[in-house]
Structure 1
Protein backbone atom coordinates (compact mmCIF):
# COMPACT_ATOMS: atom_id res chain seq x y z
CA UNK A 1 0.00 0.00 0.00
CA UNK A 2 1.28 3.45 -0.90
CA UNK A 3 1.49 5.98 1.95
CA UNK A 4 -0.94 8.89 1.81
CA UNK A 5 1.88 11.42 1.56
CA UNK A 6 3.21 9.71 -1.59
CA UNK A 7 -0.23 9.80 -3.20
CA UNK A 8 -0.67 13.46 -2.38
CA UNK A 9 2.82 14.28 -3.65
CA UNK A 10 2.15 12.45 -6.93
CA UNK A 11 -1.08 14.39 -7.53
CA UNK A 12 0.52 17.69 -6.53
CA UNK A 13 3.39 17.09 -8.97
CA UNK A 14 0.94 16.37 -11.81
CA UNK A 15 -1.08 19.51 -11.06
CA UNK A 16 2.08 21.62 -10.73
CA UNK A 17 3.38 20.33 -14.07
CA UNK A 18 0.05 21.11 -15.75
CA UNK A 19 -0.03 24.62 -14.28
CA UNK A 20 3.53 25.38 -15.40
CA UNK A 21 2.94 24.65 -19.11
CA UNK A 22 2.06 27.43 -21.57
CA UNK A 23 -1.16 27.09 -23.60
CA UNK A 24 0.34 26.92 -27.10
CA UNK A 25 -0.88 23.56 -28.37
CA UNK A 26 -3.11 24.85 -31.17
CA UNK A 27 -2.46 24.78 -34.87
CA UNK A 28 0.48 26.75 -36.16
CA UNK A 29 2.49 26.49 -32.96
CA UNK A 30 5.91 25.00 -33.62
CA UNK A 31 7.23 22.49 -36.10
CA UNK A 32 5.02 19.77 -37.55
CA UNK A 33 7.58 17.76 -39.44
CA UNK A 34 9.05 15.11 -37.15
CA UNK A 35 8.22 12.46 -34.56
CA UNK A 36 9.99 14.53 -31.87
CA UNK A 37 7.98 17.66 -32.73
CA UNK A 38 4.77 15.63 -32.60
CA UNK A 39 5.73 14.08 -29.27
CA UNK A 40 6.52 17.43 -27.66
CA UNK A 41 3.45 19.22 -29.03
CA UNK A 42 0.78 17.88 -26.61
CA UNK A 43 3.13 18.63 -23.71
CA UNK A 44 3.36 22.30 -24.67
CA UNK A 45 -0.17 23.45 -23.89
CA UNK A 46 -2.56 23.23 -20.96
CA UNK A 47 -5.58 22.46 -23.09
CA UNK A 48 -4.24 19.21 -24.53
CA UNK A 49 -2.33 18.13 -21.43
CA UNK A 50 -5.22 18.56 -19.02
CA UNK A 51 -7.79 16.97 -21.34
CA UNK A 52 -5.64 13.91 -21.99
CA UNK A 53 -4.70 13.39 -18.34
CA UNK A 54 -8.38 13.79 -17.42
CA UNK A 55 -9.34 11.02 -19.87
CA UNK A 56 -6.89 8.75 -18.06
CA UNK A 57 -8.23 9.77 -14.64
CA UNK A 58 -11.82 9.17 -15.74
CA UNK A 59 -10.90 5.75 -17.17
CA UNK A 60 -9.22 4.83 -13.87
CA UNK A 61 -12.27 5.94 -11.91
CA UNK A 62 -14.52 3.78 -14.09
CA UNK A 63 -12.15 0.80 -14.22
CA UNK A 64 -12.81 -2.42 -16.08
CA UNK A 65 -13.07 -2.16 -19.87
CA UNK A 66 -12.87 1.64 -19.70
CA UNK A 67 -9.19 1.37 -18.77
CA UNK A 68 -8.33 0.37 -22.32
CA UNK A 69 -11.47 1.37 -24.29
CA UNK A 70 -11.51 5.06 -23.42
CA UNK A 71 -7.84 5.89 -24.07
CA UNK A 72 -7.88 3.79 -27.26
CA UNK A 73 -11.03 5.58 -28.42
CA UNK A 74 -9.31 8.92 -27.93
CA UNK A 75 -6.19 7.79 -29.79
CA UNK A 76 -8.06 6.20 -32.69
CA UNK A 77 -10.48 9.05 -33.30
CA UNK A 78 -7.73 11.64 -32.76
CA UNK A 79 -5.70 10.02 -35.54
CA UNK A 80 -8.78 9.91 -37.79
CA UNK A 81 -9.34 13.61 -37.07
CA UNK A 82 -5.69 14.27 -37.85
CA UNK A 83 -6.11 12.53 -41.21
CA UNK A 84 -9.16 14.70 -41.97
CA UNK A 85 -7.15 17.78 -41.08
CA UNK A 86 -4.24 16.70 -43.29
CA UNK A 87 -6.70 16.20 -46.16
CA UNK A 88 -8.19 19.67 -45.47
CA UNK A 89 -11.65 18.24 -44.81
CA UNK A 90 -13.45 20.93 -42.82
CA UNK A 91 -14.76 20.12 -39.35
CA UNK A 92 -16.81 22.87 -37.65
CA UNK A 93 -16.16 24.20 -34.15
CA UNK A 94 -12.68 22.71 -33.76
CA UNK A 95 -11.23 25.32 -31.38
CA UNK A 96 -14.40 25.64 -29.27
CA UNK A 97 -14.59 21.84 -29.22
CA UNK A 98 -11.05 21.59 -27.85
CA UNK A 99 -11.80 24.10 -25.09
CA UNK A 100 -15.11 22.39 -24.31
CA UNK A 101 -13.26 19.07 -23.99
CA UNK A 102 -11.07 20.44 -21.22
CA UNK A 103 -14.13 21.58 -19.27
CA UNK A 104 -16.17 18.45 -20.03
CA UNK A 105 -13.46 15.94 -19.15
CA UNK A 106 -12.69 17.89 -15.99
CA UNK A 107 -16.34 17.86 -14.94
CA UNK A 108 -16.72 14.16 -15.72
CA UNK A 109 -13.85 13.48 -13.30
CA UNK A 110 -14.81 16.11 -10.71
CA UNK A 111 -18.39 14.87 -10.52
CA UNK A 112 -17.31 11.20 -10.79
CA UNK A 113 -19.82 10.64 -13.59
CA UNK A 114 -20.34 6.91 -14.06
CA UNK A 115 -21.47 6.24 -17.63
CA UNK A 116 -21.59 3.01 -19.62
CA UNK A 117 -18.31 2.33 -21.41
CA UNK A 118 -19.98 2.87 -24.82
CA UNK A 119 -21.27 6.31 -23.79
CA UNK A 120 -17.80 7.26 -22.58
CA UNK A 121 -16.34 6.12 -25.91
CA UNK A 122 -18.82 8.35 -27.77
CA UNK A 123 -18.06 11.43 -25.65
CA UNK A 124 -14.32 10.88 -25.78
CA UNK A 125 -14.40 10.19 -29.51
CA UNK A 126 -16.27 13.41 -30.26
CA UNK A 127 -13.71 15.55 -28.47
CA UNK A 128 -10.77 13.53 -29.81
CA UNK A 129 -11.89 14.40 -33.34
CA UNK A 130 -11.41 18.10 -32.59
CA UNK A 131 -7.98 17.58 -31.02
CA UNK A 132 -6.80 15.50 -33.97
CA UNK A 133 -8.19 17.79 -36.65
CA UNK A 134 -6.59 20.89 -35.14
CA UNK A 135 -3.16 19.39 -35.49
CA UNK A 136 -3.66 17.48 -38.70
CA UNK A 137 -4.67 20.71 -40.46
CA UNK A 138 -1.11 22.02 -40.08
CA UNK A 139 0.75 18.80 -40.87
CA UNK A 140 2.42 18.39 -44.28
CA UNK A 141 0.91 15.68 -46.49
CA UNK A 142 4.02 13.49 -46.57
CA UNK A 143 5.95 11.01 -44.45
CA UNK A 144 7.12 13.78 -42.11
CA UNK A 145 3.48 14.52 -41.37
CA UNK A 146 2.89 10.88 -40.52
CA UNK A 147 5.95 10.94 -38.24
CA UNK A 148 4.51 14.00 -36.49
CA UNK A 149 1.15 12.30 -35.97
CA UNK A 150 2.90 9.19 -34.60
CA UNK A 151 4.75 11.38 -32.10
CA UNK A 152 1.55 13.15 -31.14
CA UNK A 153 -0.18 9.79 -30.60
CA UNK A 154 2.69 8.50 -28.45
CA UNK A 155 2.61 11.59 -26.22
CA UNK A 156 -1.18 11.37 -25.97
CA UNK A 157 -0.92 7.73 -24.85
CA UNK A 158 1.70 8.76 -22.28
CA UNK A 159 -0.57 11.50 -20.89
CA UNK A 160 -3.50 9.08 -20.70
CA UNK A 161 -1.17 6.71 -18.85
CA UNK A 162 -0.20 9.43 -16.37
CA UNK A 163 -3.87 10.07 -15.64
CA UNK A 164 -4.65 6.37 -15.28
CA UNK A 165 -1.63 5.75 -13.05
CA UNK A 166 -2.54 8.67 -10.81
CA UNK A 167 -6.17 7.57 -10.63
CA UNK A 168 -5.30 3.97 -9.86
CA UNK A 169 -2.69 4.92 -7.25
CA UNK A 170 -5.09 7.27 -5.51
CA UNK A 171 -7.78 4.57 -5.48
CA UNK A 172 -11.07 4.83 -3.65
CA UNK A 173 -9.52 6.05 -0.42
CA UNK A 174 -8.24 9.24 -2.06
CA UNK A 175 -10.92 9.58 -4.73
CA UNK A 176 -11.50 13.14 -3.53
CA UNK A 177 -8.02 14.12 -4.75
CA UNK A 178 -8.75 12.74 -8.22
CA UNK A 179 -12.03 14.65 -8.25
CA UNK A 180 -10.17 17.80 -7.18
CA UNK A 181 -7.81 17.30 -10.15
CA UNK A 182 -10.89 17.09 -12.40
CA UNK A 183 -12.22 20.33 -10.94
CA UNK A 184 -8.84 21.95 -11.61
CA UNK A 185 -9.00 20.72 -15.22
CA UNK A 186 -12.49 22.19 -15.68
CA UNK A 187 -11.34 25.47 -14.14
CA UNK A 188 -8.38 25.60 -16.53
CA UNK A 189 -10.76 25.00 -19.43
CA UNK A 190 -13.00 27.87 -18.36
CA UNK A 191 -9.94 30.09 -17.90
CA UNK A 192 -8.67 29.23 -21.38
CA UNK A 193 -12.13 29.87 -22.86
CA UNK A 194 -12.34 33.38 -21.43
CA UNK A 195 -8.67 34.21 -22.00
CA UNK A 196 -7.67 34.29 -18.32
CA UNK A 197 -5.15 31.41 -18.64
Structure 2
Protein backbone atom coordinates (compact mmCIF):
# COMPACT_ATOMS: atom_id res chain seq x y z
CA UNK A 1 0.00 0.00 0.00
CA UNK A 2 2.73 2.47 0.98
CA UNK A 3 4.71 1.70 -2.15
CA UNK A 4 1.65 2.45 -4.26
CA UNK A 5 1.17 5.78 -2.51
CA UNK A 6 4.82 6.68 -2.99
CA UNK A 7 4.66 5.59 -6.64
CA UNK A 8 1.63 7.83 -7.19
CA UNK A 9 3.39 10.77 -5.55
CA UNK A 10 6.48 10.11 -7.67
CA UNK A 11 4.33 10.11 -10.80
CA UNK A 12 2.84 13.50 -9.91
CA UNK A 13 6.30 14.89 -9.21
CA UNK A 14 7.74 13.49 -12.43
CA UNK A 15 5.08 15.01 -14.67
CA UNK A 16 4.69 18.34 -12.85
CA UNK A 17 6.53 21.58 -13.37
CA UNK A 18 6.62 24.68 -11.23
CA UNK A 19 3.68 26.58 -12.71
CA UNK A 20 2.97 29.00 -9.90
CA UNK A 21 4.22 31.94 -11.86
CA UNK A 22 2.01 34.37 -13.76
CA UNK A 23 0.73 33.72 -17.24
CA UNK A 24 0.04 30.00 -17.35
CA UNK A 25 -3.23 28.49 -18.43
CA UNK A 26 -4.54 24.97 -18.11
CA UNK A 27 -7.32 24.96 -20.70
CA UNK A 28 -9.58 22.66 -18.68
CA UNK A 29 -12.80 24.52 -19.45
CA UNK A 30 -14.76 26.60 -16.96
CA UNK A 31 -13.48 28.75 -14.14
CA UNK A 32 -14.19 26.23 -11.37
CA UNK A 33 -12.58 23.36 -13.26
CA UNK A 34 -9.51 25.41 -14.09
CA UNK A 35 -9.28 26.53 -10.46
CA UNK A 36 -9.53 22.95 -9.19
CA UNK A 37 -6.81 21.83 -11.60
CA UNK A 38 -4.37 24.64 -10.80
CA UNK A 39 -2.95 23.34 -7.48
CA UNK A 40 -2.40 19.91 -9.05
CA UNK A 41 -0.27 21.19 -11.93
CA UNK A 42 2.74 22.69 -10.18
CA UNK A 43 5.17 20.59 -8.19
CA UNK A 44 5.56 23.36 -5.61
CA UNK A 45 1.83 23.69 -4.95
CA UNK A 46 1.22 19.95 -5.08
CA UNK A 47 3.89 19.06 -2.54
CA UNK A 48 3.17 21.96 -0.17
CA UNK A 49 -0.52 21.18 0.03
CA UNK A 50 0.03 17.45 0.51
CA UNK A 51 2.59 18.23 3.25
CA UNK A 52 0.05 20.33 5.13
CA UNK A 53 -2.29 17.33 5.07
CA UNK A 54 0.42 15.01 6.38
CA UNK A 55 1.29 17.55 9.09
CA UNK A 56 -2.38 17.76 10.06
CA UNK A 57 -2.47 14.05 10.90
CA UNK A 58 0.28 14.64 13.45
CA UNK A 59 -1.83 17.25 15.32
CA UNK A 60 -4.28 14.95 17.08
CA UNK A 61 -7.77 16.36 17.61
CA UNK A 62 -6.83 19.70 16.01
CA UNK A 63 -6.07 18.03 12.69
CA UNK A 64 -8.32 20.34 10.68
CA UNK A 65 -6.70 23.52 11.96
CA UNK A 66 -3.66 23.48 9.65
CA UNK A 67 -5.55 22.86 6.38
CA UNK A 68 -8.10 25.49 7.40
CA UNK A 69 -5.36 28.04 8.15
CA UNK A 70 -3.67 27.27 4.82
CA UNK A 71 -6.88 27.57 2.78
CA UNK A 72 -8.09 30.77 4.46
CA UNK A 73 -4.74 32.53 4.21
CA UNK A 74 -4.37 31.33 0.62
CA UNK A 75 -7.80 32.67 -0.38
CA UNK A 76 -7.19 36.11 1.15
CA UNK A 77 -3.67 36.34 -0.26
CA UNK A 78 -4.98 35.35 -3.72
CA UNK A 79 -7.09 38.49 -3.75
CA UNK A 80 -4.13 40.56 -2.53
CA UNK A 81 -1.94 39.01 -5.23
CA UNK A 82 -4.49 39.88 -7.87
CA UNK A 83 -4.59 43.49 -6.67
CA UNK A 84 -0.79 43.87 -6.52
CA UNK A 85 0.14 41.76 -9.52
CA UNK A 86 3.27 39.73 -10.27
CA UNK A 87 6.48 40.23 -8.35
CA UNK A 88 9.88 38.97 -9.36
CA UNK A 89 11.42 35.80 -7.95
CA UNK A 90 8.16 34.52 -6.49
CA UNK A 91 9.14 30.96 -7.43
CA UNK A 92 12.05 31.18 -4.98
CA UNK A 93 9.64 31.95 -2.15
CA UNK A 94 7.47 29.00 -3.14
CA UNK A 95 10.52 26.72 -3.08
CA UNK A 96 11.35 28.00 0.40
CA UNK A 97 7.85 27.01 1.56
CA UNK A 98 8.65 23.40 0.68
CA UNK A 99 11.82 23.60 2.75
CA UNK A 100 10.01 25.21 5.70
CA UNK A 101 7.18 22.66 5.69
CA UNK A 102 9.65 19.82 5.17
CA UNK A 103 11.72 20.94 8.15
CA UNK A 104 8.56 21.00 10.28
CA UNK A 105 7.96 17.35 9.36
CA UNK A 106 11.58 16.27 9.79
CA UNK A 107 11.70 17.81 13.25
CA UNK A 108 8.17 16.53 13.98
CA UNK A 109 7.59 19.94 15.38
CA UNK A 110 4.53 20.55 17.50
CA UNK A 111 5.88 23.99 18.24
CA UNK A 112 3.57 26.98 18.39
CA UNK A 113 5.28 28.35 15.26
CA UNK A 114 3.89 25.58 13.01
CA UNK A 115 0.48 27.27 12.51
CA UNK A 116 2.27 30.53 11.73
CA UNK A 117 4.55 28.79 9.22
CA UNK A 118 1.56 27.07 7.58
CA UNK A 119 -0.31 30.40 7.40
CA UNK A 120 2.68 32.15 5.82
CA UNK A 121 3.13 29.32 3.32
CA UNK A 122 -0.58 29.43 2.44
CA UNK A 123 -0.33 33.19 2.00
CA UNK A 124 2.65 32.92 -0.32
CA UNK A 125 1.01 30.22 -2.44
CA UNK A 126 -2.22 32.24 -2.52
CA UNK A 127 -0.36 35.37 -3.58
CA UNK A 128 1.22 33.37 -6.40
CA UNK A 129 -2.22 32.18 -7.53
CA UNK A 130 -3.65 35.70 -7.48
CA UNK A 131 -0.64 37.40 -9.05
CA UNK A 132 -1.02 35.17 -12.10
CA UNK A 133 -4.63 36.17 -12.65
CA UNK A 134 -4.13 39.79 -13.63
CA UNK A 135 -6.45 42.65 -12.82
CA UNK A 136 -10.09 41.82 -13.42
CA UNK A 137 -9.38 38.37 -14.86
CA UNK A 138 -10.43 36.23 -11.95
CA UNK A 139 -13.85 35.19 -10.90
CA UNK A 140 -14.93 34.01 -7.52
CA UNK A 141 -15.72 30.70 -9.22
CA UNK A 142 -12.05 30.29 -10.11
CA UNK A 143 -11.02 31.12 -6.54
CA UNK A 144 -13.56 28.61 -5.23
CA UNK A 145 -12.06 26.02 -7.58
CA UNK A 146 -8.54 26.74 -6.31
CA UNK A 147 -9.74 26.31 -2.72
CA UNK A 148 -11.47 23.02 -3.65
CA UNK A 149 -8.35 21.75 -5.43
CA UNK A 150 -6.24 22.72 -2.43
CA UNK A 151 -8.64 21.00 -0.04
CA UNK A 152 -8.47 17.84 -2.15
CA UNK A 153 -4.66 17.88 -1.92
CA UNK A 154 -4.87 18.38 1.85
CA UNK A 155 -7.15 15.33 2.01
CA UNK A 156 -4.65 13.31 -0.05
CA UNK A 157 -1.96 14.34 2.44
CA UNK A 158 -4.19 13.41 5.36
CA UNK A 159 -4.75 10.00 3.80
CA UNK A 160 -1.00 9.53 3.43
CA UNK A 161 -0.40 10.74 6.99
CA UNK A 162 -3.08 8.40 8.34
CA UNK A 163 -1.41 5.52 6.50
CA UNK A 164 1.92 6.55 8.06
CA UNK A 165 0.32 6.61 11.51
CA UNK A 166 -0.79 2.99 11.09
CA UNK A 167 2.72 1.71 10.47
CA UNK A 168 5.38 0.68 12.94
CA UNK A 169 7.83 3.12 11.37
CA UNK A 170 5.57 6.17 11.51
CA UNK A 171 8.27 8.67 12.39
CA UNK A 172 10.57 7.31 9.68
CA UNK A 173 7.88 7.80 7.02
CA UNK A 174 7.02 11.29 8.27
CA UNK A 175 10.65 12.37 8.45
CA UNK A 176 11.36 10.82 5.06
CA UNK A 177 8.50 12.77 3.53
CA UNK A 178 9.85 15.97 5.06
CA UNK A 179 13.33 15.20 3.78
CA UNK A 180 12.05 14.62 0.24
CA UNK A 181 10.15 17.91 0.39
CA UNK A 182 13.30 19.73 1.51
CA UNK A 183 15.27 18.13 -1.33
CA UNK A 184 12.68 19.19 -3.91
CA UNK A 185 12.61 22.70 -2.42
CA UNK A 186 16.40 22.94 -2.65
CA UNK A 187 16.32 21.62 -6.22
CA UNK A 188 13.73 24.25 -7.15
CA UNK A 189 15.88 26.92 -5.51
CA UNK A 190 18.84 25.80 -7.56
CA UNK A 191 16.70 25.67 -10.69
CA UNK A 192 17.31 22.01 -11.43
CA UNK A 193 13.69 20.83 -11.44
What range describes the TM-score normalised by the shorter chain of this pair?
0.7 to 0.9
The yes-or-no answer on 1:27 pairing with 2:26 is no
Match in the other structure for 1:42: 39
**TM-score normalized by the length of structure 1:** 0.85
**Is the Cα–Cα contact under 8 Å of residues 73 and 119 in structure 2 kept in the other structure?**
yes
Match in the other structure for 2:58: 61
Question: Once the 2 structures are TM-superposed, how far is the Cα of residue 132 of structure 1 from its aligned partner?
Answer: 0.7
Question: Once the 2 structures are TM-superposed, how far is the Cα of residue 91 of structure 1 from its aligned partner?
Answer: 7.8
**Is the Cα–Cα contact under 8 Å of residues 20 and 42 in structure 2 kept in the other structure?**
yes
**TM-score normalized by the length of structure 2:** 0.87
Q: Which runs of 5 or more structure 1 residues have no equivalent in the other structure?
A: 1-5
Deviation string, structure 1 residues 161-196 (Cα, Å, up to 9, x no partner): 111111111215232123212211111111011101
Deviation string, structure 1 residues 45-97 (Cα, Å, up to 9, x no partner): 111101111111111123221x1100000000000101111222788974432
Match in the other structure for 2:125: 131
Question: Once the 2 structures are TM-superposed, how far is the Cα of residue 26 of structure 1 from its aligned partner?
Answer: 2.1
Match in the other structure for 1:153: 147
| 2:110 aligned counterpart, secondary structure | coil
Q: 1:120 to 1:155 in 2, by over 3 A?
A: same
**Is the Cα–Cα contact under 8 Å of residues 95 and 130 in structure 1 kept in the other structure?**
no
The yes-or-no answer on 1:97 pairing with 2:93 is yes
**Separation in structure 2 between the aligned mates of residue 138 and residue 24 of structure 1, nearest angstrom:** 10
CA root-mean-square deviation: 2.4
Q: Which runs of 5 or more structure 2 residues have no equivalent in the other structure?
A: none
**Is the Cα–Cα contact under 8 Å of residues 91 and 133 in structure 1 kept in the other structure?**
no
**Separation in structure 2 between the aligned mates of residue 75 and residue 126 of structure 1, nearest angstrom:** 11
